[in-house]
Amino acid sequence: MMLELSETDLAAAYSLGGDHAEEGRAPLEPSDLWEALVAQPHHDYITGSYSLLGDAYHAGYRDFS
């Protein structure tokens, strides 16, 4: 059975992106973002999860930069 990201995972990615933008940090690489927030192999998740997490992070980054 493939796992799905939760709304909490996506909200955490958005929030982290906003925090990084406010701090003036460079955005995380997708693999570092996944490792920081999910800490499980992305191939265990449904297709597109990796991109969804990155999209949420970058939306937060854009909204707060």
Question: Confidence class of residue 41 from pLDDT cuts 50, 70 and 90?
Answer: confident
Alpha carbons 23 and 43: distance in angstroms, whole number: 31
Higher pLDDT, residue 4 or 39: 4
Q: With 90 as the cut, is the pLDDT of residue 40 above it? A: no
Q: State how far Cα 7 lies from the chain centre.
A: 11
Alpha carbons 11 and 30: distance in angstroms, whole number: 16
Question: Confidence class of residue 4 from pLDDT cuts 50, 70 and 90?
Answer: very high
Mean pLDDT of 1-10: 93
